[in-house]
Chains A and B, each alone.
Chain A
Amino acid sequence: MQPFNYKKAGQAENAVALVAPDAEASYLAGGTSLIDLMKLNVQMPKELVDINPLPLSKIEMQGNSLRIGAMARNSDVAYDAIIQQRYPVLSEALLSGASPQLRNMATVGGNLLQRTRCYYFRDTSMPCNKRVPGSGCAAIEGYNRIHAILGGSDRCIATHPSDMAVAMVALDAVVQTRSPNGERSIPLVDFHLLPGETPERETVLQHGELIVAVDLPASNFAKRSHYLKVRDRASYAFAMASVAAALDIQNGIIRSARIALGGVGTKPWRAYDAEKALLNKPANQAAFQAAANAAVAGAKPQKYNAFKVELTRRTIVKALATVGGMA
């Protein structure tokens, strides 16, 4: 690992003032993504600003929304009573991710900004457009079993690995940030970028823009929601395919629906077409199947991950059936 300067920030404005003007500076939260990649020389910040002392770990109601502080630990969010009751999909997504130890360290802000698990991205001896722009993509011609079937470009097909972000995208979450230019609110669906020509740019954040919180608005579907994650082993593994599903059903008819996918998209993937297929339909198997087909209609599988198309369909149908059967 390369050496770096270390500073602690006690207030958000100090943290921003330390990182924003310095292109080689970086925030350090739980460290579970950043330190991992620093050990591999994939990320090499020269200045680390430790934001663990920031008073940003509260989870509290703000009017009709629930505000989750950026420094709230993944475990504390998962077991929060309001989240378990009103946003079960988020609690389930968090508990399906990483391990209890990692969840005790990982923060909400860091989780949104964790980097891909593409093995070529993590290996500095391989070409990777995301790590070294213009160097090529080793995955497109290589072993791409874990890669994306939705949202890829001819430059990059890496998935976004977060489970939490998939649930949050389904819940219409809004990211609150702070930078030298002031504060702004960014809907989470617009927060992550498709790889396109510039896979090295992953979010709309400016350098040094600090995530301070994520807001979950009130909704009529969040309570009836579920996260289903399929992976290579029973636990402690990233998703091969995952589905966040939420339904508002009245008299057997679906009045609103949210479906988001993980493990298959280059960003936390909101399946708008699948949602449309469910609207005003009876909550039954035929509707769920139609939604699943719509979700993967634009899929572009690679040599080794064609199985993800059918896996995604079946995971969607099963998740919707579970939600449809909820009291």
Chain B
Amino acid sequence: MKFRLKRRRLGQLMFVSTVAATTSNFVEKSVAQTPVKKTTPMLKSSIPETMKVTLKVNGTAHSLQIEPRVTLLDALREYIGLTGSKKGCDHGQCGACTVLVDGRRVNSCLTFAIMHTDAAITTIEGLEQGNNLHPMQAAFVARDAFQCGYCTPGQICSAVGLVKEGHAKSDADIRELMSGNICRCGAYPNIVAAVRDVLEGKKDAAV
């Protein structure tokens, strides 16, 4: 009797764990397809799951209920729905996630959203001026400075930061100071041309 009970419990346990494995597989698949609203906790502990974090993005305040471990990039993309900033490497190695924090370009994948409650954040979606493209956006269009476009929002935010910093005096400087943005399509020559146009104050240069 005792023995059978044990066996039955074991069977139940196995059943439960199979369901759990299937569910977690399913959760991971659905994460890949649709925006996630909540990350799955990995450790049971006294650590509070979420906190209220207010971010000012492109002039609008967004109140989010998120965990401290949510990066600024994930907050923008998954919680606010601004998917212009891209996730390339998630480790500071590609620049696709570049946004402006108080006017300075940073990698949004290597910083937590909760660190920026006092900052003004600008993403690619916030660059346009009224109904006009930002001059850097216009220059990228005019110079055909992209192919697939995946790196482009990061390139443009980075280039806006570069112009503001004011250290680029030559094409060699532009290349060096844009080196934090990798382009797998190799649109580099046209990117340099677009940034140069803006530095030289040309409007819609190639048009």
Residues of A at under 8 Å CB distance from B?
A: 1-6, 28, 30-32, 35-36, 38-39, 46, 48, 50, 52, 75, 79, 98-102, 104-105, 234-236
Name the CB-closest residue of B to A104: B104
Chain B 151-169 near chain A by CB (<8 Å), digits 1 or 0: 0000000100110010100
Residues of B at under 8 Å CB distance from A?
A: 41-43, 45, 47-49, 51, 67-69, 71, 90-92, 95, 98, 104-107, 110-112, 114-115, 158, 161-162, 165, 167, 175-177, 179-182
Name the CB-closest residue of A to B41: A3
Bound: A160/B99 CA distance, A = 29
- Complex interface: chain B residues within 8 A of A28 (CB): 112, 115
Contact of A36 among B45, B48, B106, B110 (CB under 8 A): B110
Contact of B180 among A30, A36, A101 (CB under 8 A): A101
The answer to whether A101 and B67 touch (CB under 8 A), given A39-B91, A50-B115, A52-B115, is no
Bound: A5/B110 CA distance, A = 17
Name the CB-closest residue of B to A79: B167
B177 touching A100 by the CB < 8 A rule? yes
Number of A-B contacts (CB under 8 A): 98
B68 touching A4 by the CB < 8 A rule? yes
The answer to whether A32 and B180 touch (CB under 8 A), given A3-B42, A4-B47, is no
- Complex interface: chain A residues within 8 A of B91 (CB): 36, 39
The answer to whether A32 and B110 touch (CB under 8 A), given A3-B69, A48-B68, is yes
- Complex interface: chain A residues within 8 A of B106 (CB): 101, 104-105
A173 CB to closest chain B CB (Å) equals 24
Besides A4-B69, A32-B92, 10 other A-B contacts (C-beta < 8 A): A3-B41, A3-B47, A31-B112, A99-B179, A101-B158, A102-B92, A104-B105, A104-B106, A105-B111, A234-B179
- Complex interface: chain A residues within 8 A of B175 (CB): 234-235
B68 touching A5 by the CB < 8 A rule? yes
A223 CB to closest chain B CB (Å) equals 21
The answer to whether A235 and B45 touch (CB under 8 A), given A35-B112, A99-B95, is no
